[in-house]
C-alpha cells in the first residue's frame, strides 16, 4: 500500500492481507490497529505487486502517524552541497537522502533550514561552516 509523505513521493508502508474485493478495482485490506483511523479500502493503482521469495524475510517497520494521519520524513544523510545564484543573493543548498527512499529520490533543501531542523546531519562532516559557504580567506 502506498502513502504520501511531506515530499509527495509514494511510500510503501507494508504488506497487508486482502480481505475482500470491492468491485473491479478496489480491495479491502486488513490493517494493523496502529492504522485504524485510515479507511481500509484502496484502489489497485496504489498497490505494488509482491513476488514471494522463500529466502526473503520481511521486516515491517512501524510508522509514526500523527493526528492528521500524516507522517514526517526523516533525513538520513547529506549527499552534496551547492550554491544557487540569484540576481542579488546566493542560497546554499544541500542534497538530502531521506529514510526509506533511494538516492534518485534525494531532494535539494535550503541548508539553513536543514541545519535548524536536523543539526545532527551536519556533525562530523569534516567541513566547517566557512568551507561550506565558500568564505575562506585566500592563503598567504
Within a domain: residue 29?
yes
Within a domain: residue 52?
yes
Do 78 and 122 sit in the same domain of this protein?
Answer: yes
Last residue of a domain, one of 23, 48, 67: 67
Q: Look at residue 129 in the predicted model and tell me its pLDDT.
A: 46
Within a domain: residue 4?
no
Give the total number of structural domains in the chain.
2
SS3 (DSSP) at 27: strand
Do 106 and 121 sit in the same domain of this protein?
Answer: yes
Q: What is the mean pLDDT of residues 121-132?
A: 58
pLDDT confidence band for 124 (50 / 70 / 90): low
Q: Look at residue 47 in the predicted model and tell me its pLDDT.
A: 81
> Residue 111: is its pLDDT beyond 60?
yes
CATH number at residue 80: 2.40.50.40
pLDDT tens string 12-25: 677 788 899 998 99
| Buried b / exposed e along 20-45 (16+ C-beta atoms within 10 A) | eeeeeeebbbebeeebeeeebebeee
The residue segments making up the domain with residue 40 are 15-67
For the chain, the straight-line distance linking the first and the last C-alpha, in angstroms and rounded, comes to: 60
SS3 (DSSP) at 75: strand
> Residue 121: phi, psi to the nearest 5?
-70, -25
Within a domain: residue 136?
no
Within a domain: residue 7?
no
> Residue 133: is its pLDDT beyond 70?
no
Q: What is the mean pLDDT of residues 35-64?
A: 76
Q: Where are the alpha helices (DSSP H) in the chain?
A: 111-117, 129-133
Q: Which of 21-25, 125-129, 130-134 has the lowest mean pLDDT?
A: 130-134
Within a domain: residue 139?
no
Report DSSP state, residue 139. P
pLDDT confidence band for 137 (50 / 70 / 90): very low
pTM (2 d.p.): 0.47
Amino acid at each position: 500500500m502506498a502513502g504520501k509523505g511531506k515530499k509527495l513521493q509514494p511510500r510503501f508502508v507494508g504488506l497487508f492481507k486482502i480481505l475482500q474485493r470491492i468491485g473491479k478495482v478496489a480491495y479491502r485490506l486488513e490493517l494493523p490497529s496502529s492504522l485504524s483511523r485510515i479507511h481500509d479500502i484502496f484502489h489497485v493503482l496504489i498497490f505494488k505487486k509482491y513476488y514471494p521469495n522463500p529466502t526473503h524475510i520481511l521486516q515491517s517497520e512501524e510508522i509514526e502517524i500523527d493526528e492528521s494521519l500524516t507522517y514526517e520524513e526523516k533525513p538520513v544523510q547529506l549527499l552534496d552541497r551547492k550554491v544557487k545564484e540569484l540576481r542579488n543573493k546566493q542560497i546554499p543548498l544541500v542534497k538530502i537522502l531521506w529514510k526509506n527512499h533511494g538516492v534518485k529520490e534525494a531532494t535539494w533543501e535550503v541548508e539553513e533550514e536543514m541545519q535548524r531542523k536536523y543539526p545532527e546531519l551536519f556533525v562530523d562532516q569534516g567541513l566547517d561552516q566557512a568551507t561550506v559557504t565558500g568564505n575562506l580567506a585566500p592563503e598567504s
